[in-house]
Structure 1
């Protein structure tokens, strides 16, 4: 896996929140470009990977979360992305009508994982059983904090995105250390 390529547009931050917008299939990149043209900060998580066919190998960009795009907007800017035909609605919590907000810290951890992971990052929507809070101490993901999980006998570090589930990546067990409880209490 190579470092991610992502589309990101920055604008001034005045109490902006990360929201998840549902987008029509196969229109994610075009929607990100249109949001950029509107001056709206957005993040489309993609990872570059090598795909192999019977006759050739080719580097392709893979959407990590299909049919979704993250937008960083103020409450006044919320209606703007919905004006695009490809954007259907925002993700909401069950039983609520206001858009679900992704905390800035979770977005920063998720983006860090995508940018520096040499392995494929996968999303899983299955809720994880509480595990040990860990910090990566070696390798390209050093400094990443997450939760240690085991999937099919492989150690993985998971970063939770409360509204979407979690993103996880393979990592050698020797590359992580358990976080102190007092470190956890400080947060």
Structure 2
């Protein structure tokens, strides 16, 4: 008689704040397959600079589990809950996890994330460059890196190629 083989699926799990590496180690010690995407960052302190590996996606870890191990993961010390949709954990296709792994293995590729989804009407602040500190409103999005921003404080609109890592979303200023 052939043994029944349970299907394994990748899922994303929320971790406690800044506990991604600890949850990863805990699950590995339980022989649960997991993946923590890391990227190198140059950190500056007052006395030194150093390259450190940081989680690419803060508070997330990917686990490949069957129904049997599903609850073992959530009962771990640093796990909060699965990423769900309609009350069910969302399975992630294997090829998406593999694509993320291959993408991060390329050391010549700089990886940046844009938090959230930028839309027309959102308020943003320039965080570096000659316009650092100036806040404006997104008027138009043209492709992945070309946006039009209206700066009330400057009395004009700026149409430019701008890297999304040079802006951050902010709450609109009440007048």
Q: TM-score range by the shorter chain?
A: 0.5 to 0.7
TM-score normalised according to structure 2 size: 0.61
Q: Which runs of 5+ in 2 are unaligned?
A: 120-142, 147-160, 165-175
What's the C-alpha RMSD, in Å, of the aligned pairs? 2.5
Deviation at 1:53, TM superposition (A): 4.0
Q: Deviations over 1:103-132 (max 9, x none)?
A: 11111111111111423322334289xxxx
Match for residue 71 of structure 1 among 63, 72, 87: 63
Q: Within 1, Cα distance between the matches of 2:73 and 2:108?
A: 32
TM-score normalised according to structure 1 size: 0.58
Matched ranges for 1:117-156 at <5 A: 117-124=107-114, 125-126=116-117, 150-152=144-146, 153=161
Contact 1:22 1:87 in 2 (8 A): yes
Match of 1:47 in 2: 39
SS at match of 1:111: helix
Q: Within 1, Cα distance between the matches of 2:112 and 2:36?
A: 15
Deviation at 1:76, TM superposition (A): 1.9
Name segments (4+ residues, structure 1) moved above 6 Å. Answer: none
Q: For residues 112 and 127 of structure 1, do their structure 2 counterparts lie closer, same or farther at Cα, with a shift above 3 Å needed?
A: farther
1:104 to 2:94 alignment? yes
Q: Within 1, Cα distance between the matches of 2:163 and 2:118?
A: 17
> Looking at CA atoms only, which structure, 1 or 2, has the larger radius of gyration?
2
Contact 2:6 2:67 in 1 (8 A): no
Q: Which runs of 5+ in 1 are unaligned?
A: 1-12, 129-148, 157-187
Matched ranges for 1:81-96 at <5 A: 81-93=73-85, 96=86
Match for residue 37 of structure 1 among 24, 29, 33: 29
How many residue pairs get aligned? The number is 122
